[in-house]
Structure 1
């Protein structure tokens, strides 16, 4: 899918980019972008980076979409179908185990600083949901209560806060859900 970024580094622009599904050949670019974004965060505790294995699992068990300027990855979004795994956010929402396979985890959203402000998080989420397997009825997600930008985007995209709890080894997070 072709897109146009209206802003680059906060300045008016007209940058054509491409949104497409990511595959294993894109793992190096995803890891690099994740490192760059994490290193530039004023509060890095707001984002728990994925391992290469976790990113590969998102591709195998779900959907990963990226936004590319030629060969350069500037943003990506991952959804993972966790099935009956206790890591499925449906488990933390108190849903019965029989319902877990019908839910997917919205795991990571990474956008390079220069491309922020273009609505990429919402655009990627909508595209990724279109590639989910049949039978998925909802999404779970987490966000740091201090990450106002991501929280605002998630709420605007139809997520609602379920609860606030420690996750990922004690990090303070909102647990969110969205019915599809």
Structure 2
């Protein structure tokens, strides 16, 4: 079924060399087999430009094919017919790599999970909110599947833009552990049963809809913003302090927002209020 955002078009600012930026038209669309080579090339460009390449766990050729032409779905941003960004979702089912198993979910429930996979944005297109634009489109793809109850994702504790993105899409930190050959990763979770409940959330989702042009239905629209707890409810921990964060998570706390300070990046934890 075609999504309402399919073919969505707009304008973005494109780096034209040096400090110059120029306006360019873009189009949002799902990717198919014919885009595999372009997606692999874009991923290579982005990974090679990272100062810390451990922040990203790139797709292997087989994994990329799986999320574009197999059990997953992938959304892309095109400028003049050139793929400049993409974001994928995977539906792992009974795959042993299902992140729900890392959180102790029983297998029948784990099969109802979706994975937010990584977002890739060409350096020339950064600063245009494309990660959130694609995130809203991917949420619509997930919502179209009535068998999904949870969304999960992994993020490096040092990857601040990706962490901000996941919090803005209503996710929270549920675990912190080594993954992918020993690399530390947050595992973030979102229950699709969550509903909007505060003026702050309503304002956030309206802002996201205005910026992306993608309107979520009121009946079962997904939470688009994490709910900050009050200061008295929160405990703060440095994102680099893995042991302290693991203690909080084991004690029933969840990470709900990021606070950037001169002392470092702090994660705000509050007591989990759901099972």
Task: Specify the alignment match of 1:8 in structure 2.
Answer: 14
Question: How much has 1:136 moved relative to structure 2?
Answer: 0.9
CA distance in 2 between partners of 1:164 and 1:13 (Å): 41
Q: Secondary structure at the match of 1:161?
A: strand
Q: CA deviation at 1:66?
A: 0.5
Match of 2:79 in 1: 69
Counting matched residue pairs gives 179
Which has the larger share of strand? Answer: 1
Question: In the alignment, which residue of structure 2 is the partner of 1:142?
Answer: 154
Structure 1 residue 11: Cα displacement: 6.0
2:67 to 54, 58, 62: 58
User: Equivalent residue of 1:95, what SS?
Assistant: coil
Post-superposition Cα deviations, 1:98-127, rounded to whole Å, max 9, x if no partner, equal 111211111121011111111111111111
Could you tell me which runs of 5 or more consecutive residues in structure 2 were left unpaired when the two chains were aligned. 1-7, 193-275
1:92 matches 2:102: yes
Correspondence 1:4-43 to 2 at 5 A: 4-5=11-12, 7-9=13-15, 13-43=22-52
Per-residue deviation at 1:13? 4.3
Cα separation, 2, equivalents of 1:147 and 1:169:
18
Displacement after TM superposition at 1:70 (Å): 2.3
Name which of 164, 168, 178 aligns with 1:166. 178
| Structural RMSD (CA) | 1.4
Residue 71 of structure 1: how far off its partner (Å): 2.2
Per the normalisation by structure 1, the TM-score is 0.94
Residue 101 (structure 1) aligns with: 111
Higher alpha-carbon deviation: 122-131 or 8-17: 8-17
- Cα distance in 2 for residues equivalent to 1:110 and 1:141: 15
Per-residue CA deviation, residues 136-170 of structure 1 (Å, 9 max, x unaligned), is 12211011100111111111111111111110111
1:63 shift after superposition: 1.1
Rounded Cα–Cα distance in structure 2 between residues aligned with 1:101 and 1:66 = 26
Q: Is the 8 A contact 2:25 2:80 kept in 1?
A: no
1:152 matched to which residue of 2? 164
Matched, 1:127 2:137: yes
1:77 aligns to what SS in structure 2? strand
Greater relative contact order (Cα < 8 A, sep 6+)? 1
